[in-house]
Structure 1
Amino acid sequence: MPTRRAVLEAVDGVRGSTGDVASALSRLAALPPGLGNRGLSGVNGAFTRYLDHGSNQLPWIQGTLGGVTALTTAALEVDDADMELGLLRMTGPRLQAAMSGSMLVAAWLDFLHLADAVLRQCPAYSAETLFMDLHRVQRLMDPTLAALASRDLERVEAAAIAMPALMGQLTREFGSIRDGARMAMERADRAIAAAQFVEMLTLVSTLKLSLPRLPPAKPATLGVGLVMGSGGVMMGSRLVVSAEWVEMMRQLVKAGVISMPAVSAAVRIHGGQVLMAQANQDLPKGVRDALGDGPEVRAMRQTGRAGAGMAEAPKHHVLPQEHREWFAKRGFRGDMDIDQFCVRMERAHHEAIHGGGNWRLGRTWPDEWNQRIMKALREAETEASKMLTRNAILRIVAQNMKRYDIPMTFTRASKR
C-alpha cells in the first residue's frame, strides 16, 4: 500500500536525522574544555543543562516514532482496507510531531555548536551573556516542543503550521549571537579572527538555510522562489527537497495522514523560507501541484470543529469505554488503547447511534452502538471458543462502523 510505504519512509527519514543529532550531541559533550576551561563541557558545568536539554528531547521523538511503527504494523495485519487506512491515519499526529520535533532539535544543536565555538574562540563575549542567550532561545522553543510532545492532534497541527515563523525567530537569534561575538572580537582588535570565526560558523551550521555573510543589514530571506530543477528536485538557494520526498508527502496528504498546511510549512523550512508565515496558497503553484494540493485534498483535512462558529464535535469512543479492561486483555494497550479509537461526529449522529440524548435509555436499545458492538464481539468469541485477537476485533468493528456510517478517521480522546 503506497500510504504505508510513505509512512515508513518518513519514519526512516526522521530516525536518521535524530540519530545524527544524538551522535553530534554525544561528540559535543565529550569534547574536553579548551583554554581557560572554556567550552560547553567547561565553565564549571554551567552549560551542561543545555546539552541535556537537547538529549532530553530525543526519547519522546524516538518513542513517538516507535508508536508510528507499531500502528503501521497493526495496519498491515488487518484485513479490512478501510480499517487499515484508518490505522495509518492515526499515525498522522505522531508523524507530524516527530518531524517537527526533529527539526527543532537540529536547530538547538546548531545553537550548541555556536555556543561552544563562542566559548572557545571568543573570550571577549562573556559566558554569562551567552548563558542567558541560550536560556532565551530555549524559552522560545519550549512551548512548541511541549505541544509536539503532547501528540494531541490540534496542538500538533497548530505547532507544525507555526514552525516557519518560529524558525525565523531562531534564525534571527542565531544571527544576533553570532554578530555579538563578532563585534566583541573586533572591539578586542581581532578583526581578522572575527571574520574567520563567522566563516567557520557558516560552515558548521546545521539549520536548513545558508547563514548570511558579514554582517547582514537585515535578516536574509532565502529560497523565495522554489522551482523544479533537473531530476525533479525542488530548488531554492540550494537543493532542498527531492522528488522522492515530494511523492512521499503527496501520498501522506492524499491519504489524510498529514495535512497540506503542515507539509507546506515543512517545505518552507527546507527551502529556507523561514521568515515568512504565509498561507498555504502562497506556495508556488508548481510546488502545490507536486504535493497534490487540490480541492479534494484540502477537503480531507479536519479542523476539529463541527462547523464554522459551532461547538467542537463530540468524540465517539468506537470501543466502549465501560469495557476498557475487556479490550486491554485483548491487546488494546499503549499506542493501541481504546482512547486512540475515537471519531469526531456531528452531535445528532452521535446521539442517534446511542439511542437518543439519554444514554441510560439508549443502553436498553439493542441496536445502540455499545450494545451492538459488544454483542457482536462476544458472539464471535463464543463461536471461536477462544479470546479474540486484536485484529479480529478490528475487523468486526470495521464492519459495524460501515453499517452505522461512522468514518474511520480516528483521533485520540481528550484527556480526562
Structure 2
Amino acid sequence: MLDATDEVKGSLRGVEAAFTQLAARPPDLWGFSLTGVFTRYLDQGSKQVSWLHGALGSATALTDAASEVGDTDMELGLLRMAGPRLQAAQFGTLLLATWVDFLHLADAILRNCPMCSVEKLFADLHRVQGMMEPTLADLASLDPERVEAATLAMPELMGKLTREFGTLQRETRSTMKLGGQVIAAMKALEMVAMISTLKMSLPRVPPSAPATLGVGLVTSSGGVMVGSRIVVSAEWVEMMRRLVQAGVISAPAVGAAVLIQGGQALMAQAHQDLPKGVRDALGDSPEVRGMHETGRAGAGMSDAPKHHVLPQEHREWFEQRGFKGDMDIDQFCVRLEQAHHEAIHGGGNWRLGRTWPGEWNRRIMEALHEAEITAGRRLTRNQVLDIVVERMKVYRIPISFTTGRSR
C-alpha cells in the first residue's frame, strides 16, 4: 500500500513540475503563451493537485494507522478505508497527466503556428476540460461508490480524449501546411512532450479487427510482464495483485488501468473482456470480487442503512482519544441489512432499544469505560479499535468500513 501510494506521489510530482514549467514560460515572438486568457486552464491543474495531495495524505495516514493496530481484521478494515482514496488519486493523477499533454500541445501550437486560430484552440481546450470535469469531480468526492463508477468509466473517457488529441494535432498540421510553415515547425509539433498517458496509446484498429489483450502474461528476460498488446512491470502486477486480494482496490479498477495501459484500441473494452490469463495475474476471482462490492445496488443492499460502529452521541469522547480527521467516527460505518441493524440496536425504536443491556451503543461504551477504569488512564485510539473489533466479531458486524454522515 505504501509502495503504491509512493508511486502515485512520484507521478503527481512530475505533473506539478510540468504545470510550473508551462506557467513560467515567457511569451513567444507573437506574444502568445498559456497565460492571459489561457491561465484558467493552468489553474485547472492547480485545483486538482490540491485534492490529490489530500487524498494521498489521507491514504498514507490510514495506512500508518493500520500498521499500528493489533488485530489483523481491523488492519485490513483500515486499509480498505484507504483504498478508495488511493484509487481516486491514481486515476485523478492519470487524468491530470492527460490534461498536461493537452497543455503541452496547446503551447506548441501557440509558439509554432501563428496562423492557427487562438479562439478555436481556446474552445477546444474548453471542450476537453468539460469532458474531464465530471469524472474528476467524482474522484475528488472520495466517495467509494462514485470513485468506483468513475474508475470503470475511465477507459472509455481516455479513448475519447486520445481521439480529441489526435484530431487537434492533425488539424494543426494541416493548417501549418496550408500556411507554408517550415518543416522545423511541424517537427516541433510532432515532438510535443507527453508525460504519461497518451503516449501509451496504440493506433486505432479497424472496427472489424479484434482488440484484445494477450491470453496471458509471461515474464521476459528483462523482468517485465509481457502480453501481446501490453507491457507492464512484474512489480506493478504483483503490487496490484496483493491489493486486489486484500480488498483494498477493486479488480475492475485494476482492469481499467490495464485497458488504458493497453492503448486506445482497448479503452472501450469492459473489465470482463480481459482475458483469463490477465485476470489471474492480477489475482481476480469470484471470491476476491466478493470482498469489494462495486456499489449498493450490485450488492443487493440499495436501502441498507449505515451503522456507526463508534456511537455518534459520544463523538466528543472519541475525539478526545484521537478519532479526528481521517479517523473521524464518521469514517467507521458499515452497511447492514435493515433487520440486522435493528437487532443490534434492540428493535426499531432506538430509544427503547437503549434500555436493552445487549444494545450495541450501550454495550460498546460499557466495555470501553471498563477498560479505562482497569487501565487507570484514557485508552489510546488503537486500544479502542482493538476492543471495538472484538465486539464486532461477536455481533457478526462485517469489518468493512464506509463513510457515513453525522446526525
Which residue of 2 is the match for residue 47 of structure 1? 38
Please say if residues 306 and 346 of structure 1, whose CA atoms lie closer than 8 Å, have aligned partners that are also in contact.
no
Which residue of 1 is the match for residue 262 of structure 2? 271
Which residue of 1 is the match for residue 22 of structure 2? 28
Which residue of 1 is the match for residue 121 of structure 2? 130
1:33 CA displacement: 0.8
Please say if residues 68 and 91 of structure 1, whose CA atoms lie closer than 8 Å, have aligned partners that are also in contact.
yes
Q: Deviations over 1:329-388 (max 9, x none)?
A: 111000000010001111111111001111111111011000000111111112222111
Which residue of 1 is the match for residue 337 of structure 2? 346
* Alignment gaps of 5+ in structure 2: none
Q: Give 1:225's match in structure 2, choosing from 213, 233, 240.
A: 213
Letter in 2 for 1:176: T
User: Map of 1:243-262 to 2, 5 A cutoff?
Assistant: 243-262=234-253
Q: Deviations over 1:199-237 (max 9, x none)?
A: 323x54642445678xx8989x99843443504523468
Distance 1:335 1:66, change over 3 A: same
Question: Do structure 1's residue 408 and structure 2's residue 399 form an aligned pair?
Answer: yes
Which residue of 1 is the match for residue 197 of structure 2? 207
Please say if residues 109 and 116 of structure 2, whose CA atoms lie closer than 8 Å, have aligned partners that are also in contact.
yes
Distance 1:299 1:28, change over 3 A: same
Distance 1:39 1:275, change over 3 A: farther
Please say if residues 109 and 189 of structure 2, whose CA atoms lie closer than 8 Å, have aligned partners that are also in contact.
no
Q: Give 1:159's match in structure 2, choosing from 139, 147, 150.
A: 150
1:276 CA displacement: 3.1
Which residue of 1 is the match for residue 3 of structure 2? 9
Letter in 1 for 2:389: A
Number of residue pairs the alignment of both structures matches: 403
Distance 1:348 1:72, change over 3 A: same
Q: Give 1:328's match in structure 2, choosing from 319, 324, 332.
A: 319
Question: Do structure 1's residue 94 and structure 2's residue 92 form an aligned pair?
Answer: no
Distance 1:272 1:340, change over 3 A: same
Distance 1:387 1:77, change over 3 A: same
Q: Give the distance between the partners of 2:281 and 2:219, measured in 1 at CA.
A: 13
Q: Give 1:398's match in structure 2, choosing from 381, 389, 399.
A: 389
Secondary structure of the residue aligned to 2:248 is coil
Q: Give the distance between the partners of 2:80 and 2:127, measured in 1 at CA.
A: 36
Which residue of 2 is the match for residue 114 of structure 1? 105
TM-score by length of 1: 0.91
Q: Give 2:362's match in structure 1, choosing from 365, 368, 371.
A: 371
Distance 1:304 1:358, change over 3 A: farther
Distance 1:304 1:361, change over 3 A: farther
Between the two proteins, what is the percent identity of the paired residues? Answer: 64
Please say if residues 155 and 260 of structure 2, whose CA atoms lie closer than 8 Å, have aligned partners that are also in contact.
yes
Distance 1:123 1:242, change over 3 A: same
Distance 1:253 1:307, change over 3 A: closer
Q: Give the distance between the partners of 1:367 and 1:109, measured in 2 at CA.
A: 57
1:114 CA displacement: 0.4
Letter in 1 for 2:28: G
1:411 CA displacement: 0.6
Letter in 1 for 2:251: M
Please say if residues 293 and 299 of structure 2, whose CA atoms lie closer than 8 Å, have aligned partners that are also in contact.
no
1:284 CA displacement: 2.1
Which residue of 1 is the match for residue 64 of structure 2? 73
* Alignment gaps of 5+ in structure 1: 1-6
Distance 1:174 1:415, change over 3 A: farther
TM-score by length of 2: 0.93
Q: Give the distance between the partners of 2:238 and 2:92, measured in 1 at CA.
A: 22
Letter in 2 for 1:365: W
Secondary structure of the residue aligned to 1:386 is coil
Letter in 1 for 2:309: V
1:69 CA displacement: 0.8
Instruction: Tell which deviates more after alignment, 192-201 or 152-161.
Output: 192-201
User: Map of 1:163-178 to 2, 5 A cutoff?
Assistant: 163-178=154-169
Instruction: Tell which deviates more after alignment, 57-66 or 224-233.
Output: 224-233
Distance 1:217 1:247, change over 3 A: closer
Letter in 2 for 1:108: W
Secondary structure of the residue aligned to 2:291 is coil
Q: Deviations over 1:176-207 (max 9, x none)?
A: 11111111112212373564244323x54642
1:293 CA displacement: 1.3
Letter in 2 for 1:411: T
Which residue of 2 is the match for residue 146 of structure 1? 137
1:76 CA displacement: 1.0
Q: Give the distance between the partners of 2:139 and 2:85, measured in 1 at CA.
A: 8
